[in-house]
Amino acid sequence: MLYYLFEYLETHFQIPGASLFGYITFRGAMAIILSLLISTIFGKRIIKFLQKQQVGETIRDLGLEGQVEKAGTPTMGGIIIILATLIPVLLLAKLENIYIILLIVTTLWMGTIGFIDDYIKKFKNDKEGLKGRFKVLGQVGLGIIVGTTLFFHPDVTVKEKLPIEQQQIILAENPDAKPSDLFEEEERSTKTTIPFVKSNEFDYAEIITWVNSDWSKYAWIIFIPIVIFIITAVSNGANLTDGIDGLAAGTSAIIVLTLGIFAWVSGNIIFSEYLNIMYIPRVEEITIYIAAFVGALIGFLWYNTYPAQVFMGDTGSLTIGGIIAVIAIAVRKEWLIPVLCGIFLAENLSVVMQVSWFKYTRKKYGEGRRIFKMSPLHHHYQKSGYHESKIVTRFWIVGILLAIISIVTLKIR
């Protein structure tokens, strides 16, 4: 809203300084500052409100050190993250941008699912919360919305570089040619990026067009299920990671900040030309959303670090996972998720391995055996005697390492 106000003031009155709101960098800086202020200042009031409503976490004693003391800590703190993200976005972003619209829908959609789950747990005294099939149904529904929009919407396009021969001709005829002169026209495409591969672009349509080249218009049959799978997997991974103070919020902030770098370079034609990567028009606006989201996560950490004054609950964790998945798909870096979101992947796999091995050994030997002392993975280290602050810090360090590896894929192929 402020963006449109200052755009109007600049256009009609030439007010000094109004043009600053036209720059992504300025609006991004404003977004992260505003979200930090909202999450830290108003976060305390929200926590007090949750305490008055007796929205305390019920902790099942799993034999972990310090676990019982956390009983009664307010949950549903994901509300802080959602509000601190959406308010700056509504004020500073271009609201007609399709990527911003998708992220707002994702935030509200996944936030609602998480809120219903937490509400059932706390106010209906049902420890199971929302039934798993309804959660999955909600994730699938979001996947269909996101996948359909990204496939069919006319504003979701890419611009690819012209063949080397044509670039050389253009540069020979006009040495002062702009980077935009070296790119083809915008076109809708299902192309994505595969990391660590020299020819790193892959088109989902190729999965079916090898049979018949005219089938590219049916590529949505492949694309939408992939989007559904990614959203479901990442949101569940974030949900499982939210097990000890500060782990999910800190890890997610690292991931989202990295995705912000990808959004920035992919949406800037100069950087895209220099790095020889896919140029995605209009995707740079996601940077504003990411800045607000990072500020909200860091502000939430003010109250969520050990010992936590509030837990994010499914209201926060499912929302975080959904947002990360949609951003990764939008900037066409979803194949990088196993690396960038390696912490989420490890948490997911630890649960799958534990449950699968337990069922297999119970069937074969008559008694269930375990790979880990406890799953998800962070609980295994708690059972091994590590303090949760040390576990969280080391997971953050691993997350930073994975983020650096992800960033260097821009040049290392």
pLDDT in tens, 267-287: 998 888 888 788 999 999 999
**Is residue 7 pLDDT above 60, yes or no?**
yes
Q: Is residue 147 part of a domain?
A: yes
Q: What pLDDT is attached to residue 361? A: 92
Range(s) of the domain holding residue 212: 2-334
Q: What pLDDT is attached to residue 213? A: 76
pLDDT in tens, 300-316: 999 999 888 899 989 99
pLDDT in tens, 162-214: 777 787 788 788 877 777 777 778 888 899 998 888 777 889 988 888 777 77
**Is residue 59 pLDDT above 70, yes or no?**
no
Which residues are CB-neighbours of 330 under 8 A, at least 6 positions away?
99, 102, 150, 263, 280, 283, 286
**Is residue 124 pLDDT above 90, yes or no?**
no
**Is residue 217 pLDDT above 90, yes or no?**
no
Q: What pLDDT is attached to residue 15? A: 77
Q: What pLDDT is attached to residue 61? A: 47
Q: Is residue 306 part of a domain?
A: yes
Average pLDDT of the segment spanning 27-48? 93
Give the confidence band of 123 by pLDDT, cuts at 50, 70, 90: confident
Strand (E) or helix (H) holding 375: none
**Is residue 13 pLDDT above 80, yes or no?**
no
* pTM given for the model: 0.93
Tell which wins on pLDDT, 250 or 122. 250
Q: Is residue 67 part of a domain?
A: yes
pLDDT in tens, 222-273: 999 999 999 999 999 999 998 898 999 999 999 999 999 999 999 998 888 8
Q: Is residue 223 part of a domain?
A: yes
Look-up of token digits 């755009």? 7
**Is residue 65 pLDDT above 60, yes or no?**
no
Q: Is residue 112 part of a domain?
A: yes
Buried-exposed string 203-238: b where 16+ CB fall within 10 A, e elsewhere: ebbebebeeeeeeeeebbeebbebbbebbbbbbbbb
Q: How many domains does the chain have?
A: 1
- The encoded tokens of residue 127 equal 């420890």
Sign of the dihedral defined by the CA atoms of residues 311, 329, 199, 262, in that order: negative
Q: Is residue 377 part of a domain?
A: no
Average pLDDT of the chain, as a whole number: 88
Q: Is residue 378 part of a domain?
A: no
**Is residue 76 pLDDT above 70, yes or no?**
yes
Q: Is residue 341 part of a domain?
A: no
Give the N- to C-terminal CA distance of the chain in Å, as an integer: 41
Q: Above pLDDT 70, what percent of the chain? A: 93
